Structure 1
């Protein structure tokens, strides 16, 4: 039997920039958020609508699926 493991990728990073980057917890001045980062270029997209108070809260939201996907990369 074969199993397939898929990592969730950022919708906005993929749609707007053609990049398939895994989702992760990132930090900004506003707080922690779920987004994507490129090894060479740094942060690429903020995927979550909400900000979280701690990295652990952002990671738990990502793991549980309890976060809201942004539909637009604009302000």
Structure 2
């Protein structure tokens, strides 16, 4: 089993949860809720939370999105 750093995986451009569960191909973006900032999709309102993590700042979430240093959720 090979172990790669999180940043070695391709940076996602669209939300896989939004595609699978809502049938929508939407770009990933930084969103905010009471728990903090997260990576998700938006279309006339929030559609999916894609990241497992919540980030303390917009900059931290933006950095994770740009570098791929985040964990994709596998189910809603």
Root-mean-square deviation (CA, aligned residues, Å) is 1.0
Counterpart in the other structure of 1:51? 54
Counterpart in the other structure of 1:34? 39
Greater relative contact order (Cα < 8 A, sep 6+): 2
Count of paired positions: 65
5+ unaligned residues in a row in structure 1: which ranges? 1-6
- Which runs of structure 1 show a deviation greater than 2 angstroms over 4 or more consecutive aligned residues? none
The one-character-per-residue Cα deviations of 1:16-61 (angstroms, maximum 9, x if unpaired) are 01100000000000000000000xx211000000000001100000
Counterpart in the other structure of 1:4? none
Counterpart in the other structure of 2:24? 19
- Provide the C-alpha distance between the structure 2 equivalents of 1:29 and 1:57, rounded to a whole number of angstroms: 16
5+ unaligned residues in a row in structure 2: which ranges? 1-11
